Amino acid sequence: MTPRTIAFISLTPGSGKTTACANLAVMLAQMKHRVLVVDLDPQAQATLLLGTAPEAKRSTGAVLAGRQTLAGIIQHTQVPYLSLAAAAPEASDPINSPARAFDRLDFQRLAGHAPPFAFILVDTPTNDDLAQQLALTLCDEAIIPFKPTLTALYAAVPTMEMYVHVRNLRESELPDFLGFLPMAVSSEREMGNVRAKLRQNDLPYFSPIRRCQRLRQPLPANRLQRRLIALTGPNYAATADFRQVAREIVMGAEAARQVAQWCAMTPYPMAPRPRRPRPKPYF
């Protein structure tokens, strides 16, 4: 089984890559897909979010430096079906620059991993375009999270250019652009303009993730896990949104939207049919 490999990219800081990557990974795992999160960001936010302490010896930085293999650093998380290739601050060392080690993070080699992964989600560091290009080179699909303003959409143009550049270099239709992922949406009106612009330019996009107070709060490293609302806040509106986006990833955006619409239309549980009164027997 070949895993689907998805890079979360954006050259805009704070666009929501880590939040989206970690929460969607949990959602996919809860849907019983085996998921590996690869944290390429030396700030290790995704690693911390998934409840793992960064450890230089067992990090993607160590893999890029040739001291470890990718399979060798994979660890389980507390979430069933979810594994992690963690990051650690050491990876920011320029000696370990991703440019030196494109082949060391070869996901194809994980195809034989037992049990096999259905998804590999890659979180990338904003300030390191080489690492983002590496992710785009390694992955077959890409998602661009962004805050839903026209300015943020225009600011995403360099990210799109980088994406097109890598696609041209790969001389293939890959990576496939799955879509823009609107993060922290506070109203339908806010989404309206952005949606019109995306449609006008024929750009794919996912259902929006609503703004969530818990995701806005700055948190210390030891409480960062609260940001994993897919796990810690099952009743949040944003959690339902992450679930919908996870479905859109699994079955394609159009199909998942149709299913959601259909579910909204179908009363559940189905109301029992009213029984016809039996005719009274004559004798």
Binding residues for ligand ATP, rule: CB under 6 A, are 10, 13-19, 41, 45, 126, 183-184, 209, 211-212, 215-216, 238
Structure tokens given for 235: 């009743």
Kindly report the backbone phi and psi dihedral angles of residue 142, in degrees, each rounded to the nearest multiple of 5, phi listed first: -140, 145
Which of Mg ion, ligand ATP, none sits in contact with 252, Cβ below 5 to 8 A by type? Answer: none
Q: How far is the CB of 51 from ligand ATP (least distance, A)?
A: 16
Q: Which stretch binds Mg ion (CB under 5 A): 37-45, 114-122, 130-138, 153-161?
A: 37-45
Q: Are strands 82-85 and 35-39 parallel, antiparallel or unpaired?
A: parallel
To the nearest whole angstrom, how small is the minimum distance from the Cβ of residue 215 to Mg ion? 13
- Count of chain residues binding Mg ion (CB under 5 A): 3
Q: Which is nearer to Mg ion, 45 or 96 (CB)?
A: 45
The residues, ordered by sequence, that sit 6+ positions from 152 with a Cβ below 8 Å of its Cβ are 12, 15, 146
Our CB check for ligand ATP shows the closer of 10 and 68 to be 10
Q: Which is nearer to ligand ATP, 88 or 238 (CB)?
A: 238
**Least Å from the CB of residue 14 to ligand ATP:** 4
Counting Cα atoms < 13 Å in the Cβ hemisphere of 81 gives 14
Contacts made by residues 125-128, CB under 8 angstroms, sequence distance 24+: 125/40, 125/41, 125/42, 125/43, 126/10, 126/11, 126/12, 126/13, 126/14, 126/15, 126/17, 127/13, 128/41, 128/98
Q: How far is the CB of 20 from ligand ATP (least distance, A)?
A: 7
Based on CB atoms, which residue is closest to Mg ion, 5 or 43?
Answer: 43
In angstroms, give the least distance from the CB of 7 to ligand ATP.
13
- Select the binding partner of residue 13 from Mg ion, ligand ATP, none (C-beta < 5 to 8 A, by kind): ligand ATP
- 127 vs 131, 137, 220, 266, CA distance in Å? 9, 17, 21, 46
The token duo for 175 is 């990576």
74 backbone φψ class: left, alpha, beta (φ>0; ψ -120 to 50): beta
Binding segment for Mg ion among 17-25, 132-140, 244-252, 265-273 (CB under 5 A)?
17-25
Quick one: 216 or 276, whose CB is closer to ligand ATP? 216
Residue 115 and residue 68 in contact, taking contact as beta carbons nearer than 8 Å:
no
26 versus 110: smaller Cβ distance to ligand ATP: 26
Between 110 and 120, name the residue whose CB sits nearer to ligand ATP: 120
* Residues numbered 40-79 forming contacts with Mg ion, rule: CB under 5 A: 45
What DSSP designation does 54 have? Answer: -
Please select the residue that binds Mg ion; options are 5, 10, 15, 18, rule is CB under 5 A.
Answer: 18
Q: How do beta strands 74-76 and 82-85 pair?
A: antiparallel
- The contact set with Mg ion (CB under 5 A) reads 17-18, 45
